A = this chain, B = another copy of it.
Amino acid sequence: MIKMLRYLPMLICLLGCTAMSAQTTTNDDDAFFIRNIYDRALTEGRCYTWLEHLTTGIGGRLAGSPQAAAAVEYTRQMLDTLGLDSVWLQPCTVPHWVRGGQEHVRIVNSSMGSIDLAALALGNSPATPPGGLTAEVIELQSIDEVAELGREAIAGKIVFFNRPMDPKQLRTFNAYGGAVDQRVFGPERSAQQGAVACLVRSMTTSTDDHPHTGVTVFPETDGIPALAISTKAADLLSGLLKKEKVNVYVEAHCQKLADQQSYNVIGEIRGSEFPDEIIVVGGHLDSWDVGQGAHDDGTGCVQSMDVLQLLKGLNYQPKRTIRCVLFMNEENGLAGGTTYAEVSNQNKEFHLAAIESDAGGFTPRGFSCDATDESFEQRFPKVIEWFPLLEAYGLSFNKGGSGADIGPLKSQGGLLFGFRPDSQRYFDYHHTDIDTFDKVNQRELELGTAAMTSLVYLIDKYGL
């Protein structure tokens, strides 16, 4: 689905004259300015300091939680220190799901005795009845098997989805995309056939004992208790099931509370020549409740804030309006991203470009670009011209997805960019208790800020 443009440099060469003439639009000043951006990011960046407070000071910040409110206020205050033209909060209504206490998953009748399995309830899971529930486990490898097996096989059971992420995928996000349907849709499918609970193998290629939570959805049923178990627990359970019937006890205390008002946090530098052409950089401010939401997505937020800080520090006066948006509730419904696009459309705004950093604070490898066919054809060739300037920093471009929060802006006809850092470590931490500040390397984080700032600079200077 994602067509990699791996041979862009070759394409440039093969296109010959076109590329040669096009390259004259950038010059030595651009190379010099981008070098300045990198120097400043690596010496005067503030992203790492901000991240420390956001993660170790505030912690996990699920939409609707007090921590999410604290994160809104903290980042608003920090943006307020940057001398921007405006900083504001954009209201949005978010769901409020709470874990409600420690969940338990326990094998109760095996030949190995009673065994606790490391587990985390999935977002939107209901609670078990008081005192928990116990039922026999049936292991499946895909959500289609639920309907194929039907009510007779599924009703009254605990469905256990155990298809692993494919370790052979070079980019771990592709492996995630190939397995995550089990977590998102598996519990609902199981509920439709009468299952009493659902367990899902954690979304990671790592073999460890950290369960990975994440969203699940129940559009058509009341839902059943749904929990992720660690990959070690999944391997153990699967091994036992090959030998014998296994009954598991499940206890979860989750609750869906009343919706809350929350906010996207926004700051902008107004453009001097084309103020109505908006360039957004952003990440999402909410995270799951466990861990500290460091790589997902504290890093994207502080990088986006730092883009504006660096441009101000370099005394850069943009032609276009450059806006940092910290979106609320990406993890559990996308209320912030949806609201932002709705308000933008009502105000007849035009986003020339939007860049989202939501793939971790690792060493930058480039950007993937999404747009309507027409916009991509019209605007992407200009991005290719910038390749030689950014390739020296290890960055490349390909056609692909951008980011969940900026996705709704696609219809405005600009280019959407997903910032793409190295992906190997991301799913070691994603949605776990170990997505913490100490997992972020300061230089990797700052290089990401520099990469994003450089792209913003080129878009601002040359348009698209």
Contacts and interface: CB of A to CB of B under 8 A. Distances in A.
Nearest to A450: B170
A352 to B, nearest CB: 29
B422 A441 contact: no
Interface stretch (A127-135, A308-316, A340-348, A387-395): A387-395
Nearest to A13: B13
Contact of A6 (B172, B392, B425, B442): B392
A76 interface: no
A443 interface: yes
A248 interface: no
Contact of A10 (B6, B9, B422, B443): B9
A42 interface: yes
Contacts of A443: 167, 172, 205, 424-425
A168 interface: yes
Q: Determine which residue in A42, A443, A444 has the highest number of CB atoms from chain B within 10 A of its CB, and name it.
A: A443
A368 to B, nearest CB: 15
Contacts of A10: 9-10, 12-13
Interface string A85-125: 00000000000000000000000000000000000000000
A422 B425 contact: no
Interface string A362-403: 010100000000000000000000001001111000000000
A377 B24 CA distance: 32
Q: Chain A, interface size: which category? A: 20 to 34
Question: How many identical subunits does the complex contain?
Answer: 2
Interface string A1-23: 00000110110111000000000
A438 B348 CA distance: 51
B206 A442 contact: yes
A9 to B, nearest CB: 4
A81 interface: no
Nearest to A446: B167
Q: Determine which residue in A13, A38, A392 has the highest number of CB atoms from chain B within 10 A of its CB, and name it.
A: A13
A165 to B, nearest CB: 11
A167 B392 contact: no
Given A38-B170, A424-B441, A441-B425, A6 B447 contact: no
A38 to B, nearest CB: 7
Given A205-B443, A442-B206, A170 B393 contact: yes
A43 interface: yes
Contacts of A363: 363, 422, 424
Contacts of A206: 442
A389 to B, nearest CB: 12
Interface string A429-448: 00000000000011110010
A43 B168 contact: yes
Given A7-B9, A9-B10, A38-B168, 19 more contacts: A7-B391, A9-B9, A9-B13, A10-B13, A13-B13, A13-B14, A38-B170, A42-B168, A43-B167, A167-B443, A170-B393, A172-B443, A205-B443, A363-B363, A365-B394, A424-B443, A425-B443, A425-B444, A428-B441
Interface of A: 6-7, 9-10, 12-14, 38-39, 42-43, 167-168, 170, 172, 205-206, 363, 365, 388, 391-394, 422, 424-425, 428, 441-444, 447
9 contacts: A6-B392, A7-B9, A9-B9, A9-B13, A10-B13, A38-B168, A43-B168, A205-B443, A428-B441
